[in-house]
Amino acid sequence: MSTDTVIIGCCGANLASLAFALQRLGCDAPISEDPERVRRASHVILPGVGAADDAMSRLERAGFSELVPTLTQPVLGICLGMQLLFAASAEDDARCLGIIPERVSALPHAPGLPVPHMGWNQLEIGAETTLLRNVASGDYAYFVHSYAAPVGSYTRATADYGVQFSSVVEQDNFFGTQFHPERSSALGAVLLANFLGL
């Protein structure tokens, strides 16, 4: 698939597996920490692993905290990268990118539901989005997270883990998945292909 897709490299530990998942779709996406390279890309992916405050500090040091909200091409946040699209996170009371004006909260502890939420869970599609074309409610995706975004007008799919939370979001040209598409088998490949086709 011929796109000039760039992966922002300063917040992810899953970068190689994401790059390989894109390669399987015919997309060789470089990993970059150069804001100007990202600004020129046709598609941008913001993966994230770790803590929100630390990730925001790394984005700020690299010059991305001001750049990312101004991007007009399709942008996909993955896992913590999706959470960073929000205004704030309860994790370390972090200020995030502010693209979606809501706050990410900790998943509640409940009997039989250990935190972090780790493993396969079903999606419930609530609103139409190109990102989920050929994905159905009840399909499984792979999650690893301790914090989750609330459900709002930006929510395109949810999942349930003691509480219902946003598993796919869309706000203008910004998209996000709480799950890891690069680890979500056929569903993940379909979603990444849909993103590259935007």
For the question of residue 79 being annotated catalytic, the response is: yes
Nearest CA among 69, 70, 73, 18 for reference residue 42:
73
Asked whether the predicted pLDDT for residue 16 surpasses 70, the reply is yes
Q: Is 180 a catalytic residue?
A: yes
Total tally of structural domains belonging to the chain: 1
Q: Model-level pTM?
A: 0.97
Is 117 part of the annotated catalytic residue set?
no
Q: What is the pLDDT of residue 12?
A: 72
Rama region for 155: left / alpha / beta (φ>0; ψ in -120 to 50; rest): beta
The pLDDT of residue 77: 98
Average pLDDT for the chain: 96
Whole-number Å distance between alpha carbons of 89 and 52: 7
pLDDT in tens, 156-169: 999 999 999 999 99
pLDDT for the residue numbered 3: 87
Exactly one of 43, 79, 96, 117 is catalytic; name it.
Answer: 79
Give the integer Cα–Cα distance in Å for 14 and 196: 19
- Contact of 165 with 132, CB cutoff 8 Å: no
Q: What is the DSSP letter of 197?
A: T
Whether the link from the prior residue into 116 is cis, omega within 30° of 0, is yes
Query: What count of residues does the chain have?
Result: 198
Domain that holds residue 152: 5-196
Q: Which of 91, 102, 170, 182 is catalytic?
A: 182
Residue type, 57: S
Q: pLDDT grade, residue 87 (50/70/90)?
A: very high
What band does 174 get if pLDDT is binned at 50, 70 and 90?
very high
CATH code, domain with 74: 3.40.50.880
Q: Say what the pLDDT of residue 80 is.
A: 97
Whether residue 1 is predicted with pLDDT greater than 70 in this model: the reply is no
User: What percent of the chain lies above the pLDDT cut of 70?
Assistant: 98
